[in-house]
Structure 1
Amino acid sequence: MPGLRTSLIVGVFALTALTACGTTTPGGDTDDGGTMDGPSPSTTVDTFPTAPTSSPATSMGPGTTSESESGTSADSSSGGAFISADMGGGGNCDVYAQDCPKGDKCMPWADDGGQSWNATTCVPVMPNPGQVGDPCSVEGSAVSGIDDCDLGMMCYNVNAQTNMGTCTELCGGSSDAPTCEDGLCAAYNDGNLPLCLTDCDPLLQDCGPEQLCLASPSANGFVCILDSLPGSDGGYGAPCQYVNTCDPGFFCAVQNVVAGCFNPTGCCEEFCDITQPNPDSQCTGAPGGEQCQPWYGMEPPPPGYEDVGFCGIPL
């Protein structure tokens, strides 16, 4: 998904990661909700080896990195949003509970003038607000927290040139028991960016253009997020720091999972199908000791994800 650059590396062990979706921008933690123009969500992983990102703690898959860079950035116009994967609080309101005064809504925003959603704040709900799926606009940038979507929604996947995006549902319930009317909850940026995103198949990468299918940091499953660096070199072994900086079909994994990886924050690693006759043959790093391993390890996978695996050096 354009606009999400998450600092999350998937590892073979359970890690927690957050992902934030936003506009794409070069460099940064997560973008702010604009397509290729702002910050992106980050996620934390609790089940697999992943690299640092900031998203809610949940089982995301092998070796994902989750470096809690609190916020996503939103400054480029078609990608460039970064997501971090830590769960946790901060801010002066609760996005899940929407506990602001009547007429206001609780929104993720960047309280430090940066390009990542690192806090929450109460802002007025605009007259005649947009509903989920409607086109929307933001004031200033994708991470300003000010848009024309309704209560419980935010303008996400924002284009930096036009400040236009799509109204997207924010997770309800609570951080411990998130709910979504549609899709799966994926909480990024230390929990400040809980988005209801479309579920997907990481082996098929069946998301829209400039989107990636990656593990949700806060739910058992995979969701579509913005590709923060569409068209860039994010294939096997490429250095990464954010969840959404690798190419489709790859994820940011911790350094010791990827053969020949010397980047401290992790390298891009492949998904694989564990039901194939010779699953290890799908792994580019097989000569270096990588094997195709179940994404969910010894835990029972959610329905529909029984075949999902990841390549990596067994830890």
Structure 2
Amino acid sequence: MAKPQEEELTEKVDGFVTYLKQKNRLHSSYDVAKRTVLLMREICSKTKWASADELMYRMRVAGKKLVEAQPSENAVGNMVRRVLKITREEHASCIGESEDLDIKDSLHTLLHGEVDQSNFSKPVLNLKGSVIETMNELLDELEGGASNIASQALDHIHSSEVIMTAGYSKTVEAFLKAAARKRKFEVIVAESAPSYQGQELATKLAQDGIQTTVITDSAVFAIMSRVNKVIIGTHTVMADGGLKALNGAHQLALAAKHHSIPVLVCAALFKFSPEYLCSYDQDTFNKIVAPHDVLSFTDGEFVSKVHVQNPVFDFVPPDLITLFISNIGGSAPSYIYRLISDLYHADDKDL
């Protein structure tokens, strides 16, 4: 006997929660974002709802559950907010309202202190089909993000340059390989201990015929003087233009600033978050994994009184970043606020 659709959907949400709670696993931001959108699409298509208000409530409930399961995975909250804004826009489109709904809401907030949500409670014809169609377009955007960024590589990488990077990023890998089809350049990769993701990137670049050198993290400052530019990936772009990037990115950016080397960050739009880093909220911002990569468990008896932390991420302030390269082109850190306002609705900041 087939399970009811809502019961099947609940099981999928719980399965995704379990996936997110695997703390010692570094999840792919792309996979997390794609699974979140697919889940939101199923909520739209398989649950019973009569209005945009009811649909957004169901999405928020599921989204909040996912965010609480792993607060450091910003891609979940980002995609839930994107889908909520899609619902608002499609509702406005179906009832024939102006596209400048955000401006109207902002004016209403200034005058009355709260946004008038009454119109979202009215049933609208064809809303489900419109929302699902736009979600499919969002999935296409996610899928084409890396290739759109890679297509801009020749504008930023020139012949005979020395590029430094760190860690492993699929987007950076695609970016460098796209440039290597027409340009000859050298790549220096910091190995990014203790995960050593840099070695994985170096191997894949070398297999593609790119001249690649792996260095230890401690050699970054010494080598930086002969580098032309630094190109890195990131886990999340915060609302102020700062980065939540792999451990070691901060020292790389500091060394680049000391030598006046530009730092380029390749990041698809789904990584842009409306959230800020709060200094007192490190537990939500960062992700602490098992310390055995830093200090082996077999050495524990000799250092029994030492408490070892192994954080996954670094925060890189926006003043250390020169340019963001996203699906839609290059943006300065000072322009990130504008991208955020285009991607998300102000009322969805708190799920």
TM-score tier by shorter-chain length is under 0.3
Higher-helix-fraction structure: 2
User: Considering only CA atoms, is the larger Rg found in Structure 1 or Structure 2?
Assistant: 2
Structure with more relative contact order (C-alpha pairs < 8 Å, separation 6 or more): 1
TM-score normalised over the length of structure 2: 0.23
Higher-strand-fraction structure: 1
TM-score normalised over the length of structure 1: 0.25
